[in-house]
Amino acid sequence: MTEPAPYSSVDLSLIKQILPHRYPFLMIDKVRDIVPFEGGVGIKMVTSNEPHFQGHFPEEPVMPGVLIVEAMAQTAAIVVGVSTNIIGGDMLTYFMGIDSCKFRRKVVPGDILELNVKCLRPGGKVWKFRGEATVDGELAAEAEFMAMMAPKPKA
């Protein structure tokens, strides 16, 4: 296994070197408190100008639950990237499955979503995580999910 990269926090620039996602599907703004092979905390600043709020719901904008889960998965992919030092490399982390997902509170524009992910099974080709999304310390969503590492497709 490659030596972990020496990052306890990553900004948007480094996130883009690990994830292939871009606007409007990049769901995290930074990741902090990264402990390789253990977990980290993603931060999503929820703003009213995000495209999904035009239709979900125009009179009462609510962040779709699947996007909250995607934000947890993207946070987990950053933990994998830092843990395995694949920053700017030839590997990607793909979402594989989700279990025990529950939504507990609405997430709305103006909220700061904290995405706490813990590695339940780190290392190797398949990783398993537990994620909790909170706003102001209040649980908004929780899930267990798996991700798989695979080579980037050749252009």
Q: How is 26-71 classified by DSSP, letter by letter? A: ---SEEEEEETTTEEEEEEE--TTSGGGGTS-SSS----HHHHHHH
- pLDDT digits over 63-118, tens only? 999 999 999 999 999 999 999 998 888 888 899 999 999 999 999 999 999 999 99
The answer to whether 152 touches 122, Cβ cutoff 8 Å, is no
22 assigned to some structural domain: yes
Task: Identify the residue with better confidence: 4 or 104.
Answer: 104
Phi then psi dihedrals of residue 90, to 5 deg: -100, 10
5 assigned to some structural domain: no
- The helix/strand/coil state of 12 is helix
57 assigned to some structural domain: yes
- For residue 1, what pLDDT is reported? 57
Tell me the pTM: 0.96
Count of the separate structural domains present in the chain: 1
The mean of the pLDDT values for the chain is 95
CATH number of the domain within which 36 lies: 3.10.129.10
40 assigned to some structural domain: yes
Residue type, 16: K
- The helix/strand/coil state of 83 is helix
59 assigned to some structural domain: yes
- Look at the block and give the residue holding tokens 């709305």: 108
3 assigned to some structural domain: no
Q: How far, in Å, CA of 128 to CA of 108, rounded?
A: 28
110 assigned to some structural domain: yes
**Which residue in the list 32, 56, 118, 128 is annotated as catalytic?**
56
2 assigned to some structural domain: no
Note down the domain range covering 106: 12-151
- For residue 88, what pLDDT is reported? 87
Judge whether 56 counts as a catalytic residue: yes
